[in-house]
Amino acid sequence: LPIVEKIRIIAQKVYGAQDIELSPAAQSQVDRYTRQGFGNLPICMAKTHLSLSHQPERKGVPTDFILPISDVRASIGAGFIYPLVGTVS
């Protein structure tokens, strides 16, 4: 599957999101990694541990939200791509 589709599946099936929204920077990185041949790598989401959503104040199991992907980075040596969800400190 393409990188964006793998991210979307995780967001919808694991986090309960309605969909994802990639920032321009995130889309640019997805395009770059795909061109470089890394589109087959697995995805490891980087997000707050305080909520299933990107909003730590939303406790429990929120649903039907749009999960913002602010950036997408790769750890090529370790063999995975990691999207940054919302603000990651």
Domain positions in the chain: 3-85
Coil, strand or helix at 20 = strand
Would you put residue 60 in left (φ > 0), alpha (ψ -120 to 50) or beta?
left
The pLDDT score that the predictor gives to residue 15 is 86
Please state, in angstroms and rounded to a whole number, the distance separating the CA atoms of residues 57 and 47: 13
Contact 48, 56 (CB under 8 A): yes
State pTM to two decimals: 0.86
- What is the Cα Rg of the chain in Å? 13
Please state, in angstroms and rounded to a whole number, the distance separating the CA atoms of residues 29 and 73: 7
Quick one: average pLDDT of 60-67?
79
pLDDT in tens, 16-31: 899 999 999 999 999 9
The pLDDT score that the predictor gives to residue 63 is 77
Q: Which amino acid is at 14?
A: V
- On the question of pLDDT at 89 being above 60, the answer is no
Contact 68, 54 (CB under 8 A): yes
Kindly report the average pLDDT of the chain as a whole number: 88
Domain spanning 3-85: CATH superfamily: Formyltetrahydrofolate synthetase, domain 3 (3.10.410.10)
